[in-house]
Structure 1
């Protein structure tokens, strides 16, 4: 389980670290620190080059009878609401959360808005709505300090909290008499997008130019919004970073696991299951129902075949049943190496290679072990195992997503390949490098801290990535004057072309599918 709980936030620290955050020196002013929203006025902080408004409620507290219900509008308030510090994070397992120390609670439907100098209702800027990762089990919006995207990129950024784990995704049929089970966290995200549509103009954002973006579980959420009926019309472009979008549960699985979950929690009376679950203390709900395989572990999350999410996104993408809109999608070169390193550090060793492969790939283990022999990786179990899971869970699904979406709209694909990217210091004790592992690209877009600083070459790559991402938010294409041209994936003469984001000079590659053994995995559909 520790692998899942570190899905993203292992490299991040809370923005409450006052030593590195310039807001501590900023001075709140009557104007332009105050903005009027539909619910009331909020007072944020004016800092050099940007403003930030924290903890703005977009939904009412989902407590009591509203537990496991779609979010309701936030009640209005009188006077000016303080928006100078983050709101509550949603209930999660704080024992494995590197953002520990910040309070959690059920009244967590809040968001943060970052807006650059010059943004105003009369001069609105394009908007990026960021959906955090964390395996749908942990994480929070306050981790993602978006001042670089706001100041260098000249865009408005909104970071969103949404219900996680049991409270966000329990799919017990007794909780939804109308049959629309689960997906409460996804409904929260939709409510946040509606709040952006209705309020972002007052912050200097352009409500007609919204891009949804996310990493890991956040990218999986973006996949879901591409096919969710209630998300239609709420955004015009999408960014998906390292999202294993194939790891979605179907309705039957979600319902069965959730029914078993309720039984284990002591809620067994069919006539009183819903009331029993809603009466449980939050402490007993931190262990989440786990639906679908993710490498050697399982994930919770959205459930397909439901009213809110009728279609599996990978199926819809493969059959061209998605909106025509620009998409930026990619993965990291060594996605799973961090998880393997964490497992090594936790147990002091990795299990023998055959055992690792058998646990993860089941009946396909022999074929996987033959295709990823130890001698190809210098005898390193960690590197061989990481390569197999990276390719099967991240790289090749990303390739399928890019190839499928290229039939319906412009796609720009990338691979993050800085194999010297700063990782948390403890991971250096592993006997193999983590390289360009899962979530390490986040430090190049957000000031998340949590590891050694970027060196000058990495700082330059960070500036390039901020420019590419923000230009995509502005125009739907990452075409930046002075930077290497980023070709449209699958366009004439650009079949399979990806931007390889690396220090020195980013380059275009065409060997991604072959390098990550995607033809092999296409024939191993049962191997996860």
Structure 2
């Protein structure tokens, strides 16, 4: 579990970095700084080129009888609500992923809105709704400073907090006797999307031009919204970054693990489980029910076969039953290197290569070793292991999902390949390069801090990525004047992807072969 929880370390651990918002402008102008929402007025921060409104509630606090219930509307307030500092992060296990001074609590259903100069009720901009990652176990909306998207991209950006871990995804049948169990965090995201639909025009956003986006667990969430009935009509395009969307638990698994979890926390009386769970202090619910394998690790998350999520998104994509909307999708060239590095740091080294493969792939380990021989990676266990799990867990499932979506959708695919991407100090202490690892592309889209700054070439790549992403939000196509054409995946029968790298962008067609996807397709039990 500790490997997954390390994601927050990567995107928010720096001291003195830029993962906090800029200071308020010396004089907050009363007009632009105050916006009226359906629940009341909010006063944000006016800064050069943009405004930001932090910690705006989109739903009532899910406490007491509302714990493990669908989110209810936020209670209205009188006067102006201060929206100049982030709201609470949702409850999470900070023993694995420190919160670095950011307070957590159950009253965490809030979001942040970034608007560019010129956005107004009469001059509305397209909207990006960002769902954070963290394995459905950790993370928060306030990590993602979206000033570049707002100022350079000229779009409105909304970043969302949602319930995590046990409070967000416990699927105990006593909490809901029908099929609508679990998925409370997914319901929170849907409530946030409805809030955007109903309120974003007041901030200068166009409610008819909403794109949902996310990375890692955030991208998995986007996958689920593509097939969730209650999400239909709330967005018109989707962006998926490094999302292992195959890592979904079915209802039976979710119920069994959740029942065992309730017993572990002292709630085993069949007639009183729900009341017992709702009476527990939140600190006793910081650990999470872990449903599905993720390499050598496990994670929690949405449960399929339920009313809120009746089908598995990977299956629906393969059967061409996804909504026909534009999709931008991709992964990073060295996804698993970050997790391998965190394991190295946690255990002060890695086990021998054969044991790493055996622990991860079980009886398929010899076949994996044959395709990923240690001498092909200079004898470096970390590099060989990272390559194998990157391909099996991220690259090839992403390739499968991309191909499935392309049967019916306009799809634009990428691979992030800047193998000199800045990484936090701890990851640079391991005896293998983490390269273009999981989450490192985020630094090119958001000012997340926690690592050395981008060099000039990387800053140029960042500008290009912000331009592509923003243009996709505007019209569903990453077509930017002055930048290389980004081909539609599968449009001419090819599998063309944009390779995002320095010193220049390239178009590739060998992604599947490079990541040995034909081999991984033969291992039915390997995710």
- The offset of 1:21, in angstroms, is 4.6
Query: Are residues 1:384 and 2:384 paired?
Result: yes
Q: What residue is the counterpart of 1:305 in the other structure?
A: 305
> Compared with structure 1, are the counterparts of its residues 516 and 19 closer, same or farther at alpha carbon in structure 2 (3 Å cutoff)?
closer
> Can you give the 5+ residue segments of structure 1 that lack an aligned partner in the other structure?
none
- The offset of 1:178, in angstroms, is 2.9
> Compared with structure 1, are the counterparts of its residues 272 and 7 closer, same or farther at alpha carbon in structure 2 (3 Å cutoff)?
same
The 8 Å contact of residues 9 and 139 in structure 1, kept in 2 or not, is answered as: no
> Compared with structure 1, are the counterparts of its residues 459 and 17 closer, same or farther at alpha carbon in structure 2 (3 Å cutoff)?
closer
Q: What residue is the counterpart of 1:247 in the other structure?
A: 247
Q: What residue is the counterpart of 1:342 in the other structure?
A: 342
| Cα deviation digits, residues 441-492 of structure 1 (max 9, x gap) | 0000000000000000000000000000000000100000000100000002
- The offset of 1:29, in angstroms, is 2.1
Where does 1:406-421 land on structure 2 (aligned, <5 Å)? 406-421=406-421
The 8 Å contact of residues 15 and 145 in structure 1, kept in 2 or not, is answered as: no
Q: What residue is the counterpart of 1:328 in the other structure?
A: 328
Q: What is the SS of the residue equivalent to 1:94?
A: coil
Q: What residue is the counterpart of 1:202 in the other structure?
A: 202
Q: What residue is the counterpart of 1:76 in the other structure?
A: 76
The 8 Å contact of residues 215 and 241 in structure 1, kept in 2 or not, is answered as: yes
- The offset of 1:186, in angstroms, is 0.1
Q: What residue is the counterpart of 1:371 in the other structure?
A: 371
Q: What residue is the counterpart of 2:519 in the other structure?
A: 520
Aligned partners of 2:106, 2:346: CA distance in 1, in Å?
31
Query: Are residues 1:511 and 2:497 paired?
Result: no
Q: What residue is the counterpart of 2:62 in the other structure?
A: 62
Aligned partners of 2:405, 2:15: CA distance in 1, in Å?
35
Aligned partners of 2:170, 2:130: CA distance in 1, in Å?
23
| Cα deviation digits, residues 274-298 of structure 1 (max 9, x gap) | 0001111111111100000000000
Query: Are residues 1:290 and 2:290 paired?
Result: yes
Q: What is the SS of the residue equivalent to 1:129?
A: strand
Aligned partners of 1:26, 1:329: CA distance in 2, in Å?
40
Aligned partners of 1:15, 1:203: CA distance in 2, in Å?
31
Q: What is the SS of the residue equivalent to 1:483?
A: coil
Where does 1:158-197 land on structure 2 (aligned, <5 Å)? 158-197=158-197
- The offset of 1:177, in angstroms, is 2.4
Q: What residue is the counterpart of 1:95 in the other structure?
A: 95
Q: What residue is the counterpart of 1:488 in the other structure?
A: 488
Aligned length: 527
Q: What residue is the counterpart of 2:426 in the other structure?
A: 426
> Compared with structure 1, are the counterparts of its residues 363 and 471 closer, same or farther at alpha carbon in structure 2 (3 Å cutoff)?
same
The 8 Å contact of residues 15 and 21 in structure 1, kept in 2 or not, is answered as: no
Aligned partners of 1:385, 1:243: CA distance in 2, in Å?
20
| Cα deviation digits, residues 78-128 of structure 1 (max 9, x gap) | 011000000000000112325421110000000000000000111100000
> Can you give the 5+ residue segments of structure 2 that lack an aligned partner in the other structure?
none
Q: What residue is the counterpart of 1:460 in the other structure?
A: 460
Q: What residue is the counterpart of 1:129 in the other structure?
A: 129
Aligned partners of 1:154, 1:113: CA distance in 2, in Å?
13
Q: What is the SS of the residue equivalent to 1:38?
A: coil
Q: What is the SS of the residue equivalent to 2:115?
A: strand
Aligned partners of 2:19, 2:240: CA distance in 1, in Å?
31
More deviation, 428-437/12-21: 12-21
Q: What is the SS of the residue equivalent to 2:209?
A: strand
Q: What is the SS of the residue equivalent to 1:254?
A: helix
> Compared with structure 1, are the counterparts of its residues 9 and 311 closer, same or farther at alpha carbon in structure 2 (3 Å cutoff)?
farther
Q: What is the SS of the residue equivalent to 2:304?
A: coil
Aligned partners of 2:346, 2:91: CA distance in 1, in Å?
25
The 8 Å contact of residues 156 and 204 in structure 1, kept in 2 or not, is answered as: yes
Aligned partners of 1:492, 1:98: CA distance in 2, in Å?
48
- The offset of 1:9, in angstroms, is 4.4
Aligned partners of 1:498, 1:465: CA distance in 2, in Å?
14
- The offset of 1:24, in angstroms, is 4.2
The 8 Å contact of residues 8 and 438 in structure 1, kept in 2 or not, is answered as: no
Aligned partners of 2:157, 2:307: CA distance in 1, in Å?
29
Aligned partners of 1:178, 1:162: CA distance in 2, in Å?
23
> Compared with structure 1, are the counterparts of its residues 97 and 414 closer, same or farther at alpha carbon in structure 2 (3 Å cutoff)?
same
The 8 Å contact of residues 333 and 415 in structure 1, kept in 2 or not, is answered as: yes
CA RMSD in angstroms comes to 1.4
Q: What residue is the counterpart of 1:11 in the other structure?
A: 11
The 8 Å contact of residues 27 and 47 in structure 1, kept in 2 or not, is answered as: no
TM-score, normalised to structure 2, is 0.98
Q: What residue is the counterpart of 2:315 in the other structure?
A: 315
| Cα deviation digits, residues 254-280 of structure 1 (max 9, x gap) | 000000001111111100000001111
The 8 Å contact of residues 9 and 134 in structure 1, kept in 2 or not, is answered as: no
| Cα deviation digits, residues 147-205 of structure 1 (max 9, x gap) | 00000000000000000000000000000123311000000000000000000000000
The 8 Å contact of residues 14 and 142 in structure 1, kept in 2 or not, is answered as: no
Query: Are residues 1:356 and 2:356 paired?
Result: yes
Aligned partners of 2:178, 2:16: CA distance in 1, in Å?
42
Query: Are residues 1:450 and 2:450 paired?
Result: yes
